[in-house]
Amino acid sequence: MKTASSITTRAVKPVSFSRRAVMGSLAAGALVASVPAGAHAVTTGNGRAQERRARARQVRLEAVRLEELFPLPDQPSNDDETRYLTRIGNYSKGLPHDQRGEVDPAAYDSLLHALATGDPHDFEQIQLGDGRPLINPQAGLAFELQGPDSHAVAMAPAPGFASARQAAEIAENYWMALARDVPFSEYGADRTAYRAAADLSRMQDFGGNGPSGRVSTATLFRGVASGDAIGPYVSQFLWQRTPFGAEEVDRRMRTALPGLDYMTSYPEWLSLQNGCDTAEDLLLDPVTRYIRNGRDLGSWVRHDVIFQAYFNAMLVLLEQGVASFSGNPYAQSRTQRGFGTFGEPHVASALCAVTTRALKAVWFQKWFVHRRLRPEAFGGRIHNHVTRAAAYPLHADILNSPVLSETFSRTGTYLLPMAYPEGAPQHPSYGAGHATVAGACVTILKAFFDEAGILDNAVEATPDGLALSPYAGAALTVGGELNKLASNIAFGRNFAGVHWRSDAVESMRLGEEVALRYLAEEKLCFNERFDGFSLTRFDGTRVKI
């Protein structure tokens, strides 16, 4: 049994701001205050305006002190950037490359220079390839007023270029690409799924093995959190009827046509590494379908509003009347009910609010710490190594994997087949934005809803995705299906070929940490008598905030 941990607040002594510093800021125009002539203090809440202002100041100071309780973490990388001076292990998409797909050193140095100085002018001097812009590196330098600063949380180093873990993860990416059109419900009878499970089971260091140490077709491509291995692959929150106020969301989606793979020719691959902006778009199935395979999941996470899945989950939970958390101060109230605090608008706004905090945190990790290359770039390294156009320190587990010959027989190259014509977006791989937001938003929902609740009317999609049928297996809990939802969204990006397994798993943990610390500061602001939020982390540990 894992032990419970607790994030607590403490009372702090008032700290005086320097009046000279404040007045200097006002004179410089950094702060703007407007007080009407003759204005007087008015009664507000529990006291006069000045008293309220002092209390508001105290709450903000307490939030500062709360953050100071957390030591600043180390920010370790895997050292590939110093180990390989040609930068073969790091992200460089959008910069100019040679014929082997290795980045121009001066261009990479221009990126490093901008990241080192943080000067907006230097970001404008980064040497691009064919002009497609990089995505928002300066977001990693933005500050936050609630929750942890983006530099105050950390991730474990990404697997190294030559490691057994990296070899196993890229093998999973290739198998995901080959199995994109196989319905999740038919993995048990599918040859490709069986071969994938057998191959990943023999890997020296695959992080997705089940309790037996082996991967089966029942655990193939699943996450590792509680609930991920129970019931259908797809979370109920991606299938179930979803009310949206007076409207209703039809959960069938426009998905890509089957059999479409991109970036399977070397000239196309090299062009996209150089930042070519392809005019091609996904060819869509004219028939809308429920998510039933990896291609559908990859299509869903290409067009979603980034917190959309969790907002929908909230709507499903509210519709089904799932009890809110046991500590809700209004649960037993005779005279009041929650709204702006501990009510539906509170939950909805928290999902939106924590999203931007999660993105700032992961953008710092992407650009300023890890700069991990995308799976498509590693696929180019494999192709050039196997065809002897270059020699790289690739682990034997991937070179000996049958997935490479299977890929070559289908596409004629050893490149990783991509689900999107543009391939990966123009920012580094580790951590993953979708996965970090997934971890943050699911943590918010587990704080506000009863994780032990059972979801009503469980369903699963038919193999063609045209209908939903009743699900008759083990009971599906709110907590388990929320964990599964986070994994679905994170792994949907892996199915598309744009992220690695460790991107998904470690980024969900990063988002979880951001959300826990956001909630700890949120707790300081309530007037209600409130004992705190309790929830289960992805690793099974109970935590109280």
Which amino acid would we find at residue 324? S
Instruction: Please give the pLDDT value at position 197.
Output: 97
Contact assessment for residue 498 and residue 424, using Cβ atoms and an 8 Å cutoff: yes
Considering the domain boundaries, does residue 22 fall inside one? no
Considering the domain boundaries, does residue 149 fall inside one? no
Which residues are CB-neighbours of 400 under 8 A, at least 6 positions away?
none
Considering the domain boundaries, does residue 147 fall inside one? no
**Location of structure tokens 């969301």:** 249
Tokens describing residue 465:
């995705």
Q: What is the CA radius of gyration of the chain?
A: 25
E strand or H helix that includes residue 459? strand 459-461
Considering the domain boundaries, does residue 403 fall inside one? yes
If one counts the domains in the chain, the total is: 1
Considering the domain boundaries, does residue 39 fall inside one? no
Which amino acid would we find at residue 60? R
Q: Which residues pair with 232 in a beta bridge?
A: none
Which residues are CB-neighbours of 214 under 8 A, at least 6 positions away?
197, 201
- Distance (Å, rounded) from C-alpha 260 to C-alpha 283? 8
**Location of structure tokens 């977006």:** 425
Neighbour tally for 448: CB within 10 Å: 22
Instruction: Please give the model's pTM, rounded to 2 decimal places.
Output: 0.91
Contact assessment for residue 437 and residue 352, using Cβ atoms and an 8 Å cutoff: no
Considering the domain boundaries, does residue 126 fall inside one? no
DSSP state of 524: T
Catalytic residues: 427, 434
Hey, what's the torsion of the CAs at 115, 437, 499, 374, to 10 degrees?
Answer: -10
Instruction: Please give the pLDDT value at position 323.
Output: 72
Considering the domain boundaries, does residue 500 fall inside one? yes
Domain of 452 in residue numbering reads as: 164-526
- Distance (Å, rounded) from C-alpha 511 to C-alpha 407? 34
Q: Please give the chain's pLDDT, 545 residues, in tens.
A: 344 444 443 333 333 333 343 334 334 433 333 333 433 444 555 557 899 899 999 999 999 999 999 999 999 999 999 999 999 999 999 999 999 999 999 999 999 999 999 999 999 999 999 989 999 999 999 999 999 999 999 999 999 999 999 999 999 999 999 999 999 999 999 999 999 999 999 999 998 776 667 999 999 999 999 889 999 999 999 999 999 999 999 999 999 999 999 999 999 999 999 999 887 888 999 999 999 999 999 999 999 999 999 999 999 999 998 777 778 899 889 999 999 999 999 999 999 999 999 999 999 999 999 999 999 999 999 999 999 999 999 999 999 999 999 999 999 999 999 999 999 999 999 999 999 999 999 999 999 999 999 998 999 999 999 999 999 999 999 999 999 999 999 999 999 999 999 999 999 999 999 999 999 999 999 999 999 999 999 999 999 99
CATH of the domain at 271: 1.10.606.10
Contact assessment for residue 497 and residue 416, using Cβ atoms and an 8 Å cutoff: yes
Q: Which residues pair with 449 in a beta bridge?
A: 324
Neighbour tally for 417: CB within 10 Å: 22
Neighbour tally for 29: CB within 10 Å: 7
Considering the domain boundaries, does residue 202 fall inside one? yes
Contact assessment for residue 370 and residue 430, using Cβ atoms and an 8 Å cutoff: yes
Neighbour tally for 528: CB within 10 Å: 12
3 state SS of 174: helix
